[in-house]
Structure 1
Amino acid sequence: MVGVTEATRGWFVSDLKSQTIYRALRERILSNEILSGTRLVLRQLANEYDTSDIPVREALRMLERDGLVEMVPYRGARVTTLTAREIEETYFIRGHLESIATGLAAERISDAELLILDELMTRMRAAVEAQDGPGFSDLNREFHATIIGACGNEMLRELTMDIWQRHSGFQRVFRMVPERLAASQSEHEGIMDALRARDPKRAAALALWHKRSVGDTVSTLVDGERPAAGGETA
């Protein structure tokens, strides 16, 4: 019994370390402190975070699920490099899925859900005013997740949020392009007006336009990035 307890404690500590390393690396990647294409060397990261290889390996797996890291055969892990084609295809799919979901939400959203969205809008306006890219990014995700959750179609919700999760790297746009915060918030205002008016056609059209607009900004950001000079993170 004691052995089981000790094993459980060991697993819990390792899991906490993995989560801590995951969050730290995720923030460094999203803020462009660690550039696209940079190799992530397991032993170096373990030394940096003063831990064994196991929590680092699990953190890298979580980052891979987020689409922020890719595992290269015989070379280990590296920060994902976004391509123009990937951006175009992803935002095409996301745009149409979220357009459908937002249109359905306009028909089905509850007063309680609208109140949640109003609160998020207030917090996003404050984030824009403070030029808080990371904070706005988190609120933006919650805003769209709330709308998608109100669409009443579970399969549509799962598909849409799965794409969000697998392309977390696109959130860099709110950190690297400060003017995008105000532009996105202006587009959110229009979507909210359509939701309050229970206007599915307008809500769907504005959601599609919003995703195309963000996609264009992400494309510009990626085009302007310089590839990492074969560097390894320390």
Structure 2
Amino acid sequence: MPLPQLEPQARIADQVFEAIHGAIMRGSYPAGHRLRIRDVAAELGTSVMPVREAIRRLEEVGLVETLPNRGARVKGFTPAELLHVYAVRRLLEIEASGLGAAAVSDDGIARLREAYAAMESHLEAGEVVPYLDADERFLDVLYEAAGNPVLVETIHVLWQRCRSYKIVGASSELESGNPGILLEFQALLLQAAIDRDALRARELAAASIDAATGRIRQALPEG
């Protein structure tokens, strides 16, 4: 069952939001999945009102869309949206990578190594979602070193929008027997951070997102 049971002491609408959000982030609710309000309410053991509120909030962050006469569904992806979202990610993450590489501490380097090792381990086990979580932890360490919390927060919002795309792309590489490509740029980015090489980090961020855009676009269904 993709959704957990709710805790009675917390605000129900918040719990419903977190439950559905988590299912989307894990890929349990893939793009295009219909969110039938009564079914979700029954699965969570709650009424329809907090489910409606949660779906409205998920629409606001770009994870759910409501279609006339068809109800709500996890927002689908098109090549056009992919290009738009990744173009903005490219701009922001180039800046965050350069600033972070120049300022990252020795403790930050240790945390980067730890996250990178986790990425390797999860890929070897064929675990897509844990790999993506470790990848985001890796980038979080670098980006937070940039010292601009608004920049990091904005990137996090875009990561949520991209989660379905990331799952598609990473799954495609694992299925093709080529998981090493998912570590290629992060290994180089780790070295750039160790060297405190801001220019190299910026170049790698651009190349990494360009490669991911092309890889995921190839894996998307046409239309």
TM-score by length of 2: 0.82
Indicate the SS of the match to 1:71. strand
Q: Does 1:84 align with 2:79?
A: yes
| Alpha carbons 1:37, 1:79 under 8 Å: kept | yes
* Aligned match of 1:219: 217
Q: How does 1:10-25 map to 2 (within 5 A)?
A: 12=10, 14-15=12-13, 17-18=15-16, 21-22=19-20, 25=23
Ranges in structure 2 where 5+ consecutive residues have no aligned partner: 1-6
Percent identity over paired residues: 29
The runs of at least 4 consecutive aligned structure 1 residues that moved more than 6 Å come to none
Which segment drifts farther, 206-215 or 160-169?
160-169
Q: Does 1:53 align with 2:53?
A: no
Q: Does 1:93 align with 2:91?
A: no
Task: Give the Cα separation in 2 of the matches to 1:67 and 1:104.
Answer: 28
Cα distance change, pair 90–13 in 1 and its aligned pair in 2 (3 A):
closer
Which segment drifts farther, 50-59 or 146-155?
50-59
* Aligned match of 2:150: 155
Partner residue of 1:111 out of 103, 106, 113: 106
Task: Output one character per residue of 1:117-166: Cα deviation in whole Å (capped at 9) or x when no partner.
Answer: 11111111111111111110111111112211111233322332222233
Q: CA deviation at 1:82?
A: 0.8
Task: Give the Cα separation in 2 of the matches to 1:158 and 1:24.
Answer: 18
Task: Give the Cα separation in 2 of the matches to 1:176 and 1:207.
Answer: 21
Task: Report how many residues are paired.
Answer: 214
Cα distance change, pair 177–42 in 1 and its aligned pair in 2 (3 A):
farther
Task: Give the Cα separation in 2 of the matches to 1:158 and 1:20.
Answer: 18
Indicate the SS of the match to 2:193. helix
TM-score by length of 1: 0.79
Task: Give the Cα separation in 1 of the matches to 2:188 and 2:89.
Answer: 18
Q: How does 1:1-234 map to 2 (within 5 A)?
A: 12=10, 14-15=12-13, 17-18=15-16, 21-22=19-20, 25-26=23-24, 30-31=27-28, 34-173=29-168, 174-178=170-174, 181-223=179-221
Superposed CA RMSD in Å reads 2.7
| Alpha carbons 2:100, 2:146 under 8 Å: kept | yes
Q: CA deviation at 1:55?
A: 3.8
Task: Give the Cα separation in 1 of the matches to 2:216 and 2:37.
Answer: 29
Indicate the SS of the match to 1:77. strand
Task: Give the Cα separation in 2 of the matches to 1:141 and 1:47.
Answer: 33
Aligned amino acid, residue 115 of structure 1: A
Task: Give the Cα separation in 2 of the matches to 1:204 and 1:11.
Answer: 46
Task: Give the Cα separation in 1 of the matches to 2:151 and 2:24.
Answer: 27
Ranges in structure 1 where 5+ consecutive residues have no aligned partner: 1-8, 228-234
Q: Which has the higher contact order (CA 8 A, sep 6+)?
A: 1
Q: CA deviation at 1:51?
A: 2.7
Which segment drifts farther, 212-221 or 62-71?
62-71
